Structure 1
Amino acid sequence: MTEDTLNSASIGAGALLSVLREGPARTRTELVELTGLARTTVSQRLDALLRHRWVVAADASTSSGGRPAATFAFNRAARLVLAADLGATHHRVAITDLGTTVLAERTADVPIDRGPESTLAWLAQTFTELLAESGYDLADVCGAGIGLPGPVEYLTGRPVNPPLMPGWDRFPVPEWLGERLGVPVLVDNDVNIMALGEHWGGHWGGHWAGYPEADQLIFVKIGTGIGCGIISDGRLHRGAQGAAGDIGHIRVAAADDEVVCHCGNTGCLEAFAGGAALAARITASGVLAKDSRDVVRLLGVGDPEVVHLVRQAGREIGDVLASIVNFFNPGAIVIGGDIAEAGEHLLAGVREVIYKRSLPLATRHLRIQASKLGDRAGVVGAAVMVIEHVLAPQAVDTTVTV
């Protein structure tokens, strides 16, 4: 919501909170001028927000008459958010405030293929332990956001035929976890939450400052598998059924039909350039590599075969992304996931093919870079998903009594 689009007829407590979330602390007079509401109405809605701790009194400012005027600001500490980025083999779990500042976190190597109930029971226990260690409990929490490494039907929060997650198909993740945590649970694909996190971190953290083209952003995760999240006009694009961005199963142009992907098809990008595929190719060359992190470790010691394979993987990914650049015309492509730690070796291959095969107009101002948030992009995005849901003006209006 921007100041110039405020309509006084629609300014409830939730919309007033949005004004304070997106800008500096304001006095009552400034809020009256911004909203067109009567001073008494602004005061009533501010009082309601203060009672629910969504707003706090900030430092006083000097009024035109010389007396300090009370100012009011969004209270990032009003509630906590539980956030989890669950990968195929590696998980990150965190507690954040309403500004996505991470207050506590934990990582663990837990295979997602051990099944939903075992994995989610571990997750619920980890959330409880992190809260206790930080001096909080579930009464302080407004919601939980979960990212899963497979297709998710966003409206229901249920995984749909996830290739890397046997036993998870249609499992009611929000209901199962919500019953144990007692808070709303939102679930999405892990790459979508990473895209949300990178976009949020860019605008609120500053690394997209002065670069509005980043409201058209492609986030590519290269870990065990490959996927991408799409930010269009500053909003996450999920597609009709939540399957947008599944580039890992686009056929590679020079595909070998003998290379079978875990999805059942042949020639998929993920089967050539994903972390698991790279590890298998490196092992076949005579150097043991169990997973994507082993690939990055071997790259760090300068193994020439690994350097060659990673750069070629970058080219194969770049070939798929070149078509997306011509179609979507993003302002930024951000590379994240374990294999992104390969740094310039991977990015060089991606850039080489994108700039060669995409239209000059589409690449004139295009940024191609590694994630600024790194491993935290997922938990930040999971928190953003919850925050935007809980603090939507309509949601606030239903819970705040004026």
Structure 2
Amino acid sequence: MYLGQSKCGPKESWFTVLMEGLAKFPPRPTGAGEMFQLFRDGEPRTRASLVAETGQSRSTVAARIDALCGVGLLTPAGEASSTGGRPPSTFAFDPRSRIVVGVDLGATHARIAVTDLAAVPVSVLDEPLSIADGPQHVLGWVADTAAKLVAQAGRHLTDLAGIGIGLPGPVDHTTGRPVNPPIMPGWDGTDVPAALHARLGAPVLVDNDVNVMSLGEHRTICPEVDDLLFVKVATGIGAGVIMDGHLRRGAQGAAGDLGHVTVPGAEDIPCRCGNTGCLEAVAGGLAIVQRLRDLGADVHGTPDIVDLVRSGDVAAGQAVRQAGRDIGAVLAASVSLLNPARIVVGGVLAGAGEHLMAGIREIVYQRSLPLATQHLRIVPSGAGAQAGVIGAATLVTEQYLSPHNVDTLVSAQEDS
């Protein structure tokens, strides 16, 4: 649950106000939270237009606008055109009233962004970082870097609505703790939210990295697509599942773990999860690196594969295309099961372009039912490298700006 800063002093975070406020003033429906949702499209509105849109009385609308302005979510946006007499005032969502930190951690990289409440990045930093260095080192770097980016954006940590973070492994979304992550030694059960909250003083939401990437892609590139699979192809392979316009995590948060589905007809290549023939072991970045090394290529990581493909290396192109076919073999079953309207492919290996995409399309369209592929589009990510940080920020904004939490904010403001 979230509460915005209302009467916080310069050194008092909104989270402190939340804890104290909930003890004194239990949240109650105010109606302001529901009305605020109308403003999230960014369009200014007048009191009269809201009366017509909601069917509420003019006095009720005016009171709710005043309450939303009081907590900083709405701001005057000038005057509308007049048909005679004094022009009416307009009001609009003010996404600058708070900031969010979005964090995207991969196996070998880290990207952090400071965004506004519309999840629009204000500043972004991308650096190499090994998740295998362990939680103390990695989370320490995240906290230090986030604080620096917030300061560089001219804001303070007390302006933080929250921190969203994507991790490259299974996560219990309700606790924010990694659960037996194969490529994250030393992370199992780590209380990530507590560690970052202690350093930055804001609520922390944690999810699998592919889930947050799928959120970022959906919100920024194709919000009109209700049924979507986002497939990340990098060191590991995973998918985020958007169905009926919502992220679906499954019963234990393991939905979309494509990397550990057995590839039909694949060799019994050992996978770090303990099984053999898994998609990640057959077609992931490390598998392609090893295959190219066996052919004498000088490659050390997934980015090197992309560089070779772009330079026209035939062996690298063939290896990536075959990886696409293997991914397509697993995705074909997903298409028949879930019937998505779009499959979006992101991650480092997506930078190899049509070699990967052609392999995926070849098998998916060949093996899936015609009805399921009749309108199916398989495309590269439009959000690109920023999908993860935008999605991580969206985790926070969706909860912070929800009707219930806006009502909580307004209630505390009115009762304090």
- Give the TM-score of the pair, scaled to structure 2: 0.90
Offset of residue 135 of structure 1: 1.3
Task: Provide the residue aligned with 1:46 in structure 2.
Answer: 65
Q: Which residue in 2 is equivalent to 1:362? A: 372
Instruction: Find the partner of 1:295 among 284, 299, 305.
Output: 305
Matched, 1:72 2:91: yes
1:148–1:187 contact (8 Å) kept in structure 2: yes
The answer as to 2:234 corresponding to 1:223 is yes
Alignment correspondent of 2:393: 383
Quote the residue 1:275 is aligned against. Answer: 285
Q: Is the 8 A contact 2:235 2:286 kept in 1?
A: yes
User: Offset of 1:23 from its aligned partner?
Assistant: 5.5
In the alignment, structure 1 residue 346 sits paired with structure 2 residue 365: no
Q: 2 CA distance for matches of 1:358 and 1:67? A: 62
How far apart, CA to CA, are the structure 2 residues paired with 1:51 and 1:264?
Answer: 55
Report the AA paired with residue 255 of structure 1. A
Equivalent AA in structure 2 for residue 39 of structure 1 = R
Determine the C-alpha separation between the residues in 2 that align with 1:391 and 1:101: 15
1:123-134 equivalences in 2 (<5 Å): 123-134=142-153
Q: CA deviation at 1:137?
A: 1.4
Question: Quick one: which of 318, 323, 326 aligns to 1:308?
Answer: 318
3-state DSSP of counterpart to 2:323: helix
Partner of 1:248: 259
Match of 1:33 among 31, 35, 52: 52
Give 1:22 deviation, angstroms. Answer: 2.8
Residue by residue over 1:242-263, the C-alpha shift from the partner in whole angstroms, topping out at 9 and shown as x without a partner, is 1100000000111212x10011
Aligned to 1:144: 163
Given residue 318 of structure 1, which amino acid in structure 2 is its aligned partner? G
Aligned to 2:22: none
- Taking structure 1 as the reference length, the TM-score comes to 0.94
Compute the displacement of 1:133 (Å).
1.6
The structure 1 residue matched to 2:341, chosen from 331, 347, 355, is: 331
Q: What letter is aligned with 1:243?
A: A
Match of 1:164 in 2: 183
Q: How far apart, CA to CA, are the structure 1 residues paired with 2:346 and 2:221?
A: 14
Dislocated runs of 4+, deviation >3 Å:
63-66
Q: Does 1:183 align with 2:193?
A: no
Q: How do 1:186-265 and structure 2 match up within 5 A?
A: 186-203=205-222, 212=224, 214-257=225-268, 259-265=269-275
Name the aligned partner's letter for residue 374 of structure 1.
G
**1:110: which partner in 2?**
129
Aligned partner of 1:101 in structure 2 is 120
| Cα distance in structure 1, aligned partners of 2:349 and 2:42 | 37
Distance 2:54 2:120 in 1: 29
What amino acid is the match of 1:183? A
Q: Structure 2 regions of 5+ residues with no counterpart?
A: 1-28
Structure 1 residues 57-83: Cα deviation after superposition (integer angstroms, max 9, x where no partner): 113112443421111111111100001
Contact 1:11 1:35 in 2 (8 A): no
1:126-185 alpha-carbon deviations (Å, 9 max, x no partner)? 001111122111011110000000000000011000000011001000111111110000
Identity between Structure 1 and Structure 2 (%): 52
20-29 or 73-82, which deviates more: 20-29
Contact 1:91 1:110 in 2 (8 A): yes
Q: Judge which range, 57-66 or 22-31, deviates more.
A: 57-66
1:84 paired residue number: 103
Structure-2 separation of matches of 1:136 and 1:177? 18
Alpha-carbon distance in structure 1 between the residues aligned to 2:215 and 2:125: 21
1:284 aligns with 2:294: yes
Partner Cα distance (1:367, 1:59) in 2: 42
User: CA offsets per residue over residues 263-311 of structure 1, 9 Å max, x none?
Assistant: 1110000001111111111111110211110110111111111111100
Task: Give the number of aligned pairs.
Answer: 385
Question: In 1, Cα distance between the equivalents of 2:191 and 2:388?
Answer: 21
Amino acid at match of 1:373: A
Quick one: distance in 1 between partners of 2:143 and 2:291?
Answer: 37
**1:78 & 1:318 partners in 2: Cα distance?**
44
How far off is 1:11 after superposition?
6.6
